[in-house]
Structure 1
Amino acid sequence: MTVMRKFVFLLLFLFLGSASWAQVKPVKLEDNLFSTYHHQRATLFRSLPHTPGDIIFLGNSISDGGEWSELFADSRLKNRGISGDVSAGVMHRLDEVAGRKPAKVFLLIGTNDLAQGIAPDSLLKNLFWIADYLQEKTPGTQVYMQSILPVNDQFGKFGGHTRNGEVIKQVNAQLQANAGAHTYTYLDLHTPFSDNAGKLDSKYTNDGLHLNGDGYMFWKHLVYDEVFDLEPKPAVLPAPQQLEWTEAAFPLYRVRSIVVQEEGLRVEAERLKSILAERGLAVQIKPKAVAGEPHIALALAKIEAPHQAEEAYALEVTKEKVQLQANTAHGIFNGLQTLTQLMRDGTFIPGGKILDWPAFGWRGYMVDVGRNFQTMEMLKEQIDVMAKYKLNIFHFHLTEDIAWRLEVPRYPQLTAPEHMMRNKGAYYTVAEMQELIQYCKDRYITLVPEIDMPGHSAAFTRAMGVDMQSEEGLAYLKNILNDFSDTYDVPYVHIGGDEVKITNPDFLPQVTAWLHERGKKTIGWDPGGNLDQATIRQLWMKEGATNPDHTYIESRHLYLNHMDPLEAVTTIFSRQFGDRVEGDGKVLGATLCVWNDRNVLQQEDVLRLNPVYPGILAFAERSWKGGGHPGWITNIPVSQPTRVQEFQEFERRLTDLQASYFKDMPFPYAAQADISWKLFGPYKNKGDLSATFAPEKKGFKGRKPDAQAVGGTVVLRHFWDPLVRGVLEKPAENTTWYATTRFWSETDTTGHFWIGFQDLSRSYNSDTPASGTWDDRGSVLFLNGKLVTPPMWKRAGQKGNAEIPLLDEGYSYREPVALPVKKGWNTVLVKLPVGSLKGKDWQNPVKWMFTFVPVDFKGRKPMGDIL
């Protein structure tokens, strides 16, 4: 009997002798059944160190031929392919794979089995055994069963394989049908790798069985989303106005030229060249395409758009080329940002057609450097993020009571260290300001400087020795503005004008008239001072009707410093800017603001303590796409399933971009759209916040919930209620509510969670919770009936002080809570008592809320019952 016949006989003996598939029994075969090469590779695999989070490609020569870590630019990807291997060979060495507890296993095996006469049923039993074994030994591992690839007999090689085309299809059909029963994800590679005749497409092979370089690049493209837990299609954010996917795919890795004829697009062509170079692609800029060569073409053309036609673009991706057209270079720039997102995997760009334009022409982001200085490097990082997501206004708040941050050569005392209260001596020179203006212009962003007047001007008073509204102060200010206008090429000057008692009613009219004479447009805060009609109003407070004689920018309820990270994304996504679905002559658009009034330990804390980047992406979506809903809310309303679905779709794109582009940047966000809560209450606690009620009792079965919510953060009542609505329609004092959800775990493990019951504004001087408490309301949380201990606060009971930085008061900037999670269903119960709804002072408002969300817990199913 030959070795292979012995092999087949042994396999049949193993399976016929197995009494049950309910328990996966180990398989050990004789070493002499396997080749020398098999032992070389297998012994190497056993000798390599164990590393966490491995993603293993397991199989025969087809897997063996892939340079997986290099192909995906990720050292976690490991090659466990052995040329010539069969399913039993994988079974023989599977303990080595399982022992590593990998995050994922991508299995491709079987063509050699069929070629050697092993029956399809026996092969399938082996493959199911492999999946079951991994499920039992390492349940946290996600197993991907890849279909056996098609074969092609036109090359006259590997006849034992290429005759099995129909049998391969039958095996694949069974692999797909049994995915649920054996807890693996089936990946169909057969269909995309097939030509019209159902054979392995000849462009991906040179022998009819194995893959060439093009084949491996295509394989990467097909499984990229599964490797990195992404959506099947690249995330495009903001979402285009019109997007139609096709089945085509452009081979990006083969592109060698950018075709552009207009000299006015040379800068954008060079920009694209740099983008491709970052992906390891060397291209040339040419006036004409080479026949048959994949290329990207940029061109000016008439693009019809109902709004902001100067920013519109049209993008078409076919298998032969990428065509990007726009009315202006700015439109081409916008299209390049979308194209960059479509280049997600660096190999193929999915085919499709896009026609796109912004709903609002003013899409701004504001930073306050008066209170907390930021370096040029950090400012440029934020401007780069703005540009990638098509924001076009950088609002630069330069002066404050704390410090004056802009060099004025005529008056050097303005930036003298002794006149600053924080970051003493830190300011922007004339050269740096000019550099920043140009840096913005190069990205089609307008820098809008704000010199706050006459309020927020204590630094001016300290430096100049006079009040800004005095006659002498106004004279100084006119000199400053005159020099400013001579020095900086900016179309707008923001004059502030709010939060001050106007003692000189001629002050703001004189200042605005002076700037208008110098050709500058002015912007001021509303509510604020006595602005003239020509000055654009930037709304910052209160909901209500606007004056039809004025022009507006929306910033109401767009202050990230007041927002919980998870709430920020839901509330911004829901917004309707200026009570409009698109911009017009009266509402230009909106500006998202970061006012970190409280001192920080280091400049990066402005991005770490505030949800800046997730907020920017949510804002980019809404300000570009338009739409939204009336009113200001904190949570997506579960009573409107369409809105829940819209948010879930958006969040999938958001988290894809988070994983792909923000790995090394502060991005305080965790997926929350699949978390649903049942709320029970109100129970009258009569002011006793420790009082217990039915949901805490053992065996509480509940009833129809009194309210429901979706999200990782649930705000029962916002501190600006009723202007900003929470989940409860009629929140009442001296009541207790309970919220419950549950989640499934595939194994006993340790989960890590964001847990919190208040998110301190970075502008209020709020107190830190007392030792041994989550908050001052008596909130508690139970996981599987066990009380979760509050954090050991670094400054427990610290009275709020603007000069004392926050350290760990927010869940998103302290260590996640590690909790034991059991296999199966896990139940979360949150107790939410409240006494008075009025804070003890304005610095400590009552924001009745809680947060519970997994941050790195693999293997869980959606929490609660998604509505």
Structure 2
Amino acid sequence: MTVFEGLLPRPVRVTPTGGTLHDPPAPTFAKDLSLPPSGFRLTVSSDGVHVESADPAGEFYGFQALRQLRGPAAFRAVDLPGDPLPCGVVEDWPRFSWRGCLLDVARHFMPKYAVLRFLDLMAAHRLNVLHLHLTDDQGWRLEVPEYPKLTTVGAWRAGSWTGRPPDGTPGHDGRPHGGYYTVDDLREIVAYAAERHITVVPEIDVPGHSQAAIAAYPWLGVTGERLEVLTRWGVNENVLAMTDEVVDFYRRVLTHVTEIFPSEVICLGGDEVPATQWAADPGSVDRAADLGLSNVDSLHGWFVAQLATHLESLGRRASVWDEALSPRLPPRTIVAAWHPDVDAGGHDVVLCPEDHLYLDHRQSDHPSEPIPVGYLRTLADVYAYEPSASALGAQAQVWSEHLDSPRRVDYAAFPRLAAFAEVVWSGPDRSYEEFEQRLIAHHLPRLDALGVEYRPLAGPHPWQTRPGVPGRPR
């Protein structure tokens, strides 16, 4: 397999011309508006290295391709001698405009340095959207100066379930867990991402997955009771109250979010919202009737639509998980479809299927697989996923209930995220057998140079296992 054949994602076209270039000078750059958006043409000849691009993103991706041609040494933190460059022309551009990855920093907090490192890994794979899941039942990770208890109370919990014990299991590990990002931390993350042509899409999850906020300000909840930040995993019946005061609270939070994140898209969550508390609460029942809703279940869509409309007034665009779909949503709202066969009602769609692209799910049936949860999704399964051409793109999810450190995130995400990156960048005509050979011969050495503690194809290293920690396979 030649160096050109080792490029990942697989390029649209490669034309080898023969020969190699030793000690190449710095590349030169030029614009070529005939190339598709984010496209590039990388030329290596005896005269040097030249990158033509459609736009700044294409220039960046051309440089990433050049980096791969230099060999694994180009992925180390210091400038080590690289391989001679093969002479030829690489022409490439992406298949989808949304090539995303969700990183859940709410269930387990990821220190800022780990988020910046994850952005570097995304950039190396030409992914361009980081969906940052900032709030959930188990933690609130965004500083909001107007509401300081969101972080003084909501950003930490007394402990966590270890693994996935049966629902209803009392207790936790007794180890306090927490952390949050200051406004300046988030501005730094956004700027760092932008330098790598990655857009950070923040998620403030409502009206479910909100117990951390309710713990900080109990009047946000239906019952008004003082709750702790949740220490277990799973769907939670504690949801937001459907009052004008709560709507106003979240409007103010979202205005603050738009002052930090320049992304056109802001995610409002909207998944896994039980209506149990609303049905049992006379005030919520009356609220639904006053709004002309047929039942309390419709409060879910009404609430999300209020906030989506607010984002529109700020010149932004909401995205929601598919359960939050309702006729009340603004037409520009994007649907993040994690269930199969979602009818998005004419809305733009980003495909996020649980049964294909949840990278926290187990990678084998082997007894040594650490904390085996969810569906069995191998590297080959991820590579076989085929997104609909009508979608904006697709997004892999790294949920962190069972990923309590950057090392565990590495294990869950890689090399499956490399497979996903090729799915959303390259065309549908691909072979897993060829990809695996390319991965082993060329790309895993790059990940080694980057210090990524990925899952070996043959199974986990002994230190990557979690003996005795319960999972929940599906």
Letter matched to residue 411 of structure 1? Y
* Alignment of 1:524 onto 2:277: no
CA RMSD in angstroms, aligned pairs only: 2.5
C-alpha displacement of 1:352: 1.3
* Alignment of 1:572 onto 2:343: no
C-alpha displacement of 1:567: 4.4
Letter matched to residue 65 of structure 2? T
Letter matched to residue 668 of structure 1? R
SS in 2 for 1:310: coil
322 and 453 in structure 1: CA distance in 2 versus 1, 3 angstrom threshold:
same
Is the CA contact (8 Å cut-off) linking 1:416 and 1:425 kept in structure 2? no
Is the CA contact (8 Å cut-off) linking 2:154 and 2:212 kept in structure 1? no
Is the CA contact (8 Å cut-off) linking 2:382 and 2:416 kept in structure 1? yes
- Number of residues paired by the alignment? 386
Alignment match of 2:120 (pick from 377, 380, 384): 384
415 and 650 in structure 1: CA distance in 2 versus 1, 3 angstrom threshold:
same
The answer for the alignment partner of 1:431 in structure 2 is 184
The answer for the alignment partner of 1:452 in structure 2 is 205
C-alpha displacement of 1:794: 4.3
State how far apart, in whole Å, the 1-side matches of 2:333 and 2:68 are: 38
The answer for the alignment partner of 1:311 in structure 2 is 38
The answer for the alignment partner of 2:348 in structure 1 is 551
Letter matched to residue 492 of structure 1? V
589 and 418 in structure 1: CA distance in 2 versus 1, 3 angstrom threshold:
closer
* Alignment of 1:657 onto 2:443: yes
* Alignment of 1:396 onto 2:396: no
Larger Rg: 1
SS in 2 for 1:317: strand
State how far apart, in whole Å, the 2-side matches of 1:529 and 1:335 are: 38
The answer for the alignment partner of 1:537 in structure 2 is 335
Is the CA contact (8 Å cut-off) linking 1:527 and 1:540 kept in structure 2? no
The answer for the alignment partner of 2:293 in structure 1 is none
State how far apart, in whole Å, the 2-side matches of 1:493 and 1:232 are: 43
State how far apart, in whole Å, the 1-side matches of 2:7 and 2:427 are: 15
C-alpha displacement of 1:545: 5.8
Deviations 1:207-252 (A, max 9, x none): xxxxxxxxxxxxxxxxxxxxxxxx432521001111122212122x
Letter matched to residue 91 of structure 2? L
403 and 755 in structure 1: CA distance in 2 versus 1, 3 angstrom threshold:
closer
The answer for the alignment partner of 2:32 in structure 1 is 301
SS in 2 for 1:507: helix
State how far apart, in whole Å, the 2-side matches of 1:375 and 1:354 are: 37
419 and 449 in structure 1: CA distance in 2 versus 1, 3 angstrom threshold:
closer
State how far apart, in whole Å, the 1-side matches of 2:360 and 2:447 are: 23
If asked which structure has higher relative contact order (CA below 8 Å, sep 6+), I would say: 2
State how far apart, in whole Å, the 1-side matches of 2:344 and 2:427 are: 22
The answer for the alignment partner of 2:408 in structure 1 is 605
Identity %: 29
State how far apart, in whole Å, the 2-side matches of 1:246 and 1:488 are: 45
C-alpha displacement of 1:548: 5.8
The answer for the alignment partner of 2:280 in structure 1 is none
The answer for the alignment partner of 1:669 in structure 2 is 456
Query: What stretches of structure 1 of length at least 5 have no aligned partner?
Result: 1-230, 259-295, 581-585, 629-642, 671-711, 713-752, 757-790, 801-805, 807-842, 846-867
Letter matched to residue 649 of structure 1? E
C-alpha displacement of 1:339: 0.7
State how far apart, in whole Å, the 2-side matches of 1:240 and 1:438 are: 28
State how far apart, in whole Å, the 2-side matches of 1:302 and 1:400 are: 43
* Alignment of 1:442 onto 2:212: no
SS in 2 for 1:390: coil
State how far apart, in whole Å, the 1-side matches of 2:182 and 2:460 are: 41
Deviations 1:169-208 (A, max 9, x none): xxxxxxxxxxxxxxxxxxxxxxxxxxxxxxxxxxxxxxxx
State how far apart, in whole Å, the 2-side matches of 1:404 and 1:755 are: 33
Q: Which range is displaced more, 461-470 or 324-333?
A: 461-470
The answer for the alignment partner of 2:78 in structure 1 is none
547 and 507 in structure 1: CA distance in 2 versus 1, 3 angstrom threshold:
closer
The answer for the alignment partner of 2:142 in structure 1 is 406
Letter matched to residue 568 of structure 1? T
State how far apart, in whole Å, the 1-side matches of 2:394 and 2:91 are: 23
Alignment of 1:138-149 (within 5 A): none
Alignment match of 2:241 (pick from 465, 469, 488): 469
* Alignment of 1:562 onto 2:361: yes
The answer for the alignment partner of 1:590 in structure 2 is 394
Is the CA contact (8 Å cut-off) linking 1:499 and 1:528 kept in structure 2? no
Return the TM-score normalized by structure 2. Answer: 0.76
497 and 624 in structure 1: CA distance in 2 versus 1, 3 angstrom threshold:
same
Letter matched to residue 358 of structure 2? Y
State how far apart, in whole Å, the 1-side matches of 2:426 and 2:116 are: 25
Alignment of 1:167-182 (within 5 A): none
Is the CA contact (8 Å cut-off) linking 2:108 and 2:178 kept in structure 1? no
C-alpha displacement of 1:532: 3.9
